[in-house]
Amino acid sequence: MKIGRTVRAVVAVGLVGAFVGCGQRGSGAGDTDPPARSETPRYASAERLPEKLSQDGTMIVVGNPAALSTVQMYEDPRCPVVEEYERTGAEAVRKVLLTGEVKAEYTFASFKDDGLGGDGSKRAVNALRAALEKGKFVEYHAVLFANQPAVESSGGFTTARLLKLAEEVPGLRDQAFDGAVRTMKYSSFVTASEQAYEHTGDDPSGPGTPTVVVNGYVVDGGLNGLLFDADMFHRMVTDLHEHPDTWDSLYLPLKKVVEAKIAES
């Protein structure tokens, strides 16, 4: 990767894609050792991606279980900036997931309920967990964020709305799913995921949403633009797996360059 060329590319997408998320954004999320290399199956579509509950019960894991890299996603369903990211940038993550080289770990916050009132975030997280039981998390997650506008302050993820939106995912609604949504069956998951979020990074209130962590490195600030370009995001994921030293030698300097360019504009 030529630094000059990458700087120009990152500046271009960074100026368009930069945003400030909900809550605070930390810098110490998800420090992990790079996973070992393995054979990498490819997936024909997002609906075919494996999905499961994490072993500790706090995250939903999507993608090849033996993937060589991990992308950690921190989201609150009522956060409008998460909706913006899912609408404009998350396709880059989905494309990389299909290669089988990466798995994604979703940790769901629900702090927007405490700040704005209502329980829309908690109900949405519970419904997402219920969709996982049917193997429909990926599809339902996409539907919720495609229909998220205007719910931040209204708490609009009501039980009735969550069930109505589930009709857009073939095979999702049945007695078990509807019952889980109505009774908040997975409230323990909602609490565990929120607590995991709060214990991520240095800020006691959590890292902010959305936060994206690649192989233990928080991609924020001047590097946000990389999240909006599938090819560049894929290259960064590969770099941080095969050559972790590129975080200090390449990506942090790029971050400073882009932030300086943004400050000058």
Question: Read out DSSP for 128-194?
Answer: HHHHHHTT-HHHHHHHHHHT-TTHHHH----HHHHHHHHTTSTT--SHHHHHHHHHTTTHHHHHHHH
Cβ atoms within 10 A of the Cβ of 264, count?
6
pLDDT for res 49: 95
Q: Which of 54-68, 141-155, 246-260 has the highest mean pLDDT?
A: 54-68
pLDDT for res 151: 57
Average pLDDT of the segment spanning 139-168: 84
Average pLDDT of the segment spanning 167-196: 97
Query: Residues for the chain: how many in total?
Result: 265
pLDDT for res 34: 45
Give phi and psi for 102, each to the nearest 5.
Answer: -135, 145
| Contacts with 47 (C-beta within 8 Å, 6 or more apart), sequence order | 138, 139
pLDDT tens per residue, range 194-214: 999 999 878 788 888 888 999
Residue of higher predicted confidence among 156 and 118: 118
Dihedral over alpha carbons 46, 106, 257, 240 (to 10 degrees): -80
8 A C-beta contact, residue 105 and residue 75 = no
Residue with tokens 């770099």: 239
How far is CA 260 from its chain centroid? 27
Res. 14: pLDDT tops 60: no
pLDDT-wise least confident of 73-82, 177-186, 208-217, 253-262: 253-262
H-type helices in the chain, by residue range?
3-17, 80-88, 91-98, 111-116, 120-133, 137-146, 151-154, 159-166, 175-183, 187-198, 230-242, 246, 252-264
Res. 82: pLDDT tops 90: no
pLDDT-wise least confident of 30-34, 48-52, 159-163: 30-34
Average pLDDT of the segment spanning 39-58: 90
Helix (H, G, I), strand (E, B) or coil at 79: coil
Average pLDDT of the segment spanning 73-88: 87
As beta bridge partners, residue 113 has none
Q: How many CA atoms lie within 13 A of 108 on its CB side?
A: 29
Res. 259: pLDDT tops 70: yes
Dihedral over alpha carbons 197, 199, 200, 204 (to 10 degrees): 100
Res. 35: pLDDT tops 70: no
| C-alpha closest to that of 90 among 213, 229, 200 | 229
Across all residues in the chain, what is the average pLDDT? 83
Question: Quick one: pLDDT band at residue 149, thresholds 50, 70, 90?
Answer: low
pLDDT tens per residue, range 95-144: 889 999 899 999 999 998 888 788 999 999 999 999 999 999 999 999 99
Q: Which of 15-24, 53-62, 105-114 has the highest mean pLDDT?
A: 53-62
8 A C-beta contact, residue 193 and residue 108 = yes
How far is CA 98 from its chain centroid? 15
pLDDT for res 186: 98
Average pLDDT of the segment spanning 64-81: 91
8 A C-beta contact, residue 210 and residue 74 = yes
Average pLDDT of the segment spanning 153-157: 68
Token pair in block for residue 94: 């989905």
Q: What is the pTM of this model?
A: 0.83
